[in-house]
Amino acid sequence: MFGSKEALLKLPEEQRKQILFLNGSSTQAVYDAFNHKDILCGDDGWGNTPFSAGCFESVEKFCIQEYSDLNAWLLQHNVSLLAKVFLLPVFASIDEPAVLTVWQIVVEFASELFSGDNIVVADVNAHWCLHYHHDGIITFAHTPALATS
């Protein structure tokens, strides 16, 4: 997710401190919690229809063309740069860990995070969720609908 271990070690210490790879049991607990919450509510399992079941009051899509535009789009959502988030690879191998980090890291590393396979970025309290589809489509859902949260 952040390249090789060597690449991660080359990051400034302040950034490295904000990126926590979860161990196996913690990763499993996060996936279990978000699956139980049905955070992608209505998705087909392949990332083609995230948030289609109306679990969030607001759903916005963005098609990546320029990463500079993506960074501006991410910042317009009024998420605190210090907000804690989980990074959850959708089709990860069983030994790939989930990551706990902050929104600022997501924005700074957007071009790396949103250029490979599907990934979910979720607020630790599930108040909002972002889904990246490998075709370059990002869907941002926020404000959980009260009837389903």
Q: How far apart are CA 142 and CA 40, in angstroms?
A: 11
Sheet with 137-144: strands ordered across: 20-21, 99-102, 84-89, 119-123, 128-133, 137-144, 56-63
Digit-by-digit pLDDT tens for the chain (149 residues) are: 676 677 788 889 999 999 999 998 999 999 999 888 888 888 887 888 899 888 899 999 999 998 889 999 999 998 999 999 999 988 776 678 899 999 999 999 999 999 988 999 999 998 999 999 999 999 999 988 865 44
pTM comes to: 0.89
